[in-house]
Structures are given as C-alpha cells and as structure tokens.
Amino acid sequence: MTKTQRAGTTWVVVQMLLLAALGVVAPWHRDDWPALASTVPGALLFAYAAWTGLAGVRDLGRNLTPRPVPRDGGTLVTTGIYSRLRHPLYASLMAIGFGWALLWSSTAGLGLAVVLCAFLHAKARHEETHLCRHFPGYAAYMRRVPRFFPWPRR
C-alpha cells in the first residue's frame, strides 16, 4: 500500500468513527427540545441525503472509491448529479448527520454533525488537490460547480 493509499485509508477510518459516534450519541443524548419541532426538517434532510447519495453512487459508477484519491484509470464524472454538485456523497453524509441529530432532538448530535461537516469539508479539499493533479479539467469544473449544495444557476 502506498503512502497516499494509507493516508486515504486514515480519512475513511476517521469518517466512519465520526458517523458511528453520531449514530450512538444522538439517541443517547436526546430530547433536548420537543421532537415535533425538528421531525420535518430532519426528514427533509434525510430525503436530500437519499437523493444526493443514491445519485452520486449511480453516476460515479466504476469510479467510486472510499479513499479521497482518484481511482487509477478512472474518469472525471461531470454529468448527472455531478453537474450540480462536486461532492454529492459528502453532502449526503452531512445531511444524514444533521437529519439524525434533529430526529433525536439532540444538541450533542448537532455538535457532532458540525464536526462531521468540518471533517468532510477538509476531506473534500484534500481530495480536490488530487483531482486537480489527476484531471486537467478539474480546476475549471471547480469554478463552475458548487462543492456540496446546488445553488440556483446564474
């Protein structure tokens, strides 16, 4: 395993630990506010997560890899959901984190969701340095397409 692959594995392991912590902490430290107040926003975030996550996996196809490094022989995908978001899988995980915390009415869960978002932002930036090196058109793609959330086009 190369140094880059080992570093990529570290990113994946930390991501999994954060998701596992969020999965446990939110239900354990719950009911910080009335559940009715956050059920609909939490459900909407889960719907957004399902849309971005499933579309991201489908559109990446054989280019999918858990590590933040392009797959050898992979191609740059800029169609489908990738024409609207550069990192739909990370956006999906962010939405799941906040949605989960809201469904449990958990302040501690919201705190971990913020940590998860900061981590995924750093992971995306790290990944984009590799993508820029690997794909000559990636820098132009970055200027055209938002990172996590589809903003209305100008």
Number of folded domains that form the chain: 1
Q: What does the radius of gyration of the chain's CA atoms come to, in whole angstroms?
A: 16
- If phi > 0 it is left, if psi is from -120 to 50 it is alpha, else beta; for residue 34 that is beta
The predicted model gives 25-33 an average pLDDT of 94
Residue 127, domain extent: 42-61+77-148
Does residue 96 lie within any of the structural domains?
Answer: yes
List Cβ neighbours of 41 (8 Å cut-off, separation of 6 or more): 99, 102
Q: What is the pLDDT of residues 32-64, one digit of tens each?
A: 999 888 999 999 999 999 999 999 999 999 999
Q: What is the pLDDT of residues 105-148, one digit of tens each?
A: 999 999 999 999 999 999 999 999 999 999 999 999 999 999 99
Does residue 12 lie within any of the structural domains?
Answer: no
Does residue 4 lie within any of the structural domains?
Answer: no
Does residue 2 lie within any of the structural domains?
Answer: no
Is-above-0.75 flag for pTM? Answer: yes
Does residue 35 lie within any of the structural domains?
Answer: no
Q: What is the pLDDT of residues 54-110, one digit of tens each?
A: 999 999 999 999 889 998 899 999 999 999 999 999 999 999 999 999 999 999 999
Does residue 118 lie within any of the structural domains?
Answer: yes
Does residue 46 lie within any of the structural domains?
Answer: yes
Does residue 90 lie within any of the structural domains?
Answer: yes
